[in-house]
Amino acid sequence: MNSYSDFAVETIGLTKVFGATRAVDGIDLSVPSGLVYGFLGPNGAGKTTTLRMLATLLRPDGGSARVLGHDVVAQADAVRARVGLTGQFASVDEDLTGAENLVLLGRLLGHSSRHARLRAVELLDAFDLADSAGRQVKTYSGGMRRRLDLAASIVVTPELIFLDEPTTGLDPHSRNQVWDIIRTLAWEGTTVLLTTQYLEEADQLAARIAVIDRGTLIAEGTPGELKTSTGRGALQVRLHNPDQRAEAARTLSRVLELPVHLDLDPAQLTTPGADPERATLALAELTRAGLPVATFALGQPSLDEVFLALTGHPTQEEAA
Amino acid sequence: MTLTPTAPAGPAPGASVRAALATGARPPAPGSLSTSLTFAWRALLKIRHVPEQLSDVIAVPIIFTLMFTYLFGGALDGSPRAYLQFLLPGTLVMAVLLATVYTGVNLNTDLGKGVFDRFRALPIWRPAPIAGALIGDALRYLLACALVLALGLLLGFRPHGGALGVLLAVALVVVFALALSWVFTLLGLLLRSPNAIMSVAMVVLFPLTLASNILVEPDTMPGWLHTVVDANPVTHLVTTARAAMAGSATAGQITAVLLASAVIAAVFAPLTVRLYNAK
């Protein structure tokens, strides 16, 4: 078991087949402990199926998976005793109140009635739900539901928490609240494994990202590694003289062999997908042509661009 | 590592969430009975928040008892009051058995919800949610029994077996209903929607309750139907419930009901649990 000790999750050839569809098709993963790890991919990529197998809710059809050193099939109860789960759709009981939901889970996890109630009050306070504790969850807003859902996952502090699309459908304010909670979890040493179809979310939260597409793992690494692997960002140039913008655009386009966008700022131009070496040549060419540059920046590619480069199709293709 | 989590210094949830995480020590795992009782408590909470779900348990016994007493009483037994003496144990059985379908409907509704994923990811005795729901159902069955009996006594039903006889009859009916509930938990797992369960349930429950001796003795029925009625376990349940309320139940009758319940449960409970665990 020693080989597993450094990893919160390790899978070998993990596979799940639904009828003729190989929903998860041989995924090998090693998720280090104590950080936020993101499964990134479009709808139907196999992220949720993978997560459900790791959370012992689905039995793999092939390969194996260990969570915190325990096999998800043979030692399912040992896994269940160490992880928390927040499903894609609110995994709380809508007919019950927020407080009742937390007391129910406290009781199921082994707390006495009294302790379960105390814990519920503590969590409702911590997640800013004290005012709504006595209301049925069906009356909650999306953000409140998500917070209750997260609170329910830490009635007992888990070593690892699975979050399936934790911010899907939330407004920006609620999303930021959930992001703060997720960062706090990781800060306190809980490994967080989340799925998301939002590249921004993966970029904001995850220390490492697994890009999943059509049931297979197509890339893995830190957000920075994934971005540099495609090697192309956007070259942004700001001229001293806005009147020279048309000429500068022609020069950049010629050297970079790429279309150049004119930004709202009348002195600024952006060329997405610029190769770094050619970008330096292009800057020199501008100077040589008497088109002085005020500022320039060669940005990292966005994860959207990375995803497109890795899969050959944009993230939302399968959702459409 | 390239990314350190942003220090949750200012924003509201940081400190209190951290405090909550620090105090979330895991207590010893609860036993299967305690877990099942917790799920029974959940069933009671749901009744409290959604009392409409009791409408069937309240309305059906009252409607059936009143309707059959006054529809058939004069024709079959000379007067509603005389017929009620025969009918009441039967409507008791009918009211409770018709309520068993909701065990399957509730389970099916529950399974489609995210909260069941959470239950299934907990380190608890696997069938506890179903066992707890059945305990909650037993209380609904008792409520139905109490309503039928109260109405019956009001209309002039007089059980000669006394309180003990009535309690025995109620106990047998509830035991049988709990056994039958496993049929519907299985359907709840097999079928796609609550509506599908209701449709199948009507096909099962109507013959089971009407092709019995609930409304009339089978003496005047054609031979084939007589055979069907005699083979129907509900007939034996009704006969025993009548005898218990009249104070004349035999050990043989009681054993037969318990045996029938045990056989039904022994077939359908393991099937349900196996299917549930495999889901």
For chain A, give the percent of residues with pLDDT over 70: 94
CA B55/CA B57 separation, integer angstroms: 5
Task: With a cut of 50, say whether residue B9 has pLDDT above it.
Answer: no
B225 in reach of chain A (CB within 8 A): no
* Portion of chain B with pLDDT greater than 70, in percent: 95
How many CB pairs lie under 8 A apart between chains A and B?
159
Show which of residues 119-148 on chain B sit within 8 Å of chain A, judged by CB atoms.
119-124
Cβ-nearest to A89 among B6, B24, B114? B114
The closest CB to that of B3, out of A52, A77, A222, belongs to: A222
Amino acid (one-letter) located at B144: A
Candidate from A91, A104, A136 with C-beta closest to B114: A91
Confidence bin at A91 (pLDDT 50/70/90)? confident
Q: What is the mean pLDDT of residues A129-149?
A: 94
A10 contacts A66 by C-beta, under 8 angstroms? yes
Q: What is the ipTM of this complex?
A: 0.84
For residue A214, CA distances in Å to A88, A316, B43 come to 19, 13, 40
Q: Which helix (H) or strand (E) holds A176?
A: helix A172-187
Q: B34 to chain A: which residues are within 8 Å by CB?
A: 107
Q: If you average pLDDT over residues A92-107, what whole number do you get?
A: 95
CA gap A212, A210 in Å, rounded:
6
* Closest chain B C-alpha to A111 CA, distance in angstroms: 6
A73 close contact with B: CB closer than 8 A: no
Predicted pLDDT of residue B89: 94
Chain mean pLDDT for chain A? 88
pLDDT band per the 50, 70, 90 thresholds, residue A314:
low
Distance in angstroms (rounded) separating the CA atoms of residues A245 and A251: 10
Band (pLDDT 50/70/90 cuts) for residue A318 is very low
At the topology level of CATH, where does A2-224 sit?
Rossmann fold (3.40.50)
For the ranges A199-203, A245-249, B148-152, the lowest mean pLDDT is seen at: A199-203
- pLDDT greater than 90 at residue B22: no
pLDDT in tens, B203-227: 989 899 988 988 888 888 898 998 9
In chain B, residues 1-30 whose CB comes closer than 8 Å to chain A? 1-3, 5-8, 11-14, 16-30
Q: Which of residues 134-173 of A touch B (CB under 8 A)?
A: 136, 151-152, 154-157
Tokens of B10: 């200012």
Model pLDDT for residues B177-203, shown as the tens digit of each residue: 999 999 999 999 999 888 999 999 889
**Residue-averaged pLDDT of chain B:** 89
Residues 237-276, chain B: which have Cβ within 8 Å of A? none
Would you kindly state where each structural domain of chain A is located, as residue ranges?
2-224, 232-300
**Residue A60 forms contact with B (CB below 8 Å):** no
Q: Decide if pLDDT at B110 tops 70.
A: yes
Rounded distance between C-alpha atoms, residue B247 and residue A284, angstroms:
108
The model's pLDDT over B249-275, given as tens digits with 9 standing for 90+, comes to 899 999 999 999 999 999 999 999 999
- The shortest CB-CB distance from B18 to any of A83, A112, A184 is to A184
pLDDT number for residue B158: 93
Q: How far apart are CA A142 and CA A165, in angstroms?
A: 13
As a whole number of angstroms, the distance between CA B110 and CA A156 comes to 24
- List, for residues B86-109, the tens digit of each pLDDT value: 999 999 999 999 989 988 998 898
Q: What is the mean pLDDT of residues A3-15?
A: 82
Which CATH number does the domain A232-300 belong to among 2.30.130.10, 3.30.70.2500, 3.90.190.20, 3.30.70.100? 3.30.70.100
Q: Which residues in chain A touch residue B126, judged by CB atoms under 8 angstroms apart?
A: none
What are the tens digits of pLDDT across the range B225-240?
Answer: 989 998 999 999 999 9
Residue A4 has pLDDT above 70, yes or no: no
Residue B147 has pLDDT above 90, yes or no: yes
Q: Which of B30, B46, B121 sits opposite A57 (nearest CB)?
A: B121
Least confident of A153-157, A192-196, A224-228, B136-140: A224-228
Q: What is the pLDDT of residue B113?
A: 85
Using left for φ > 0, alpha for ψ between -120 and 50, and beta otherwise, residue A206 falls in: beta
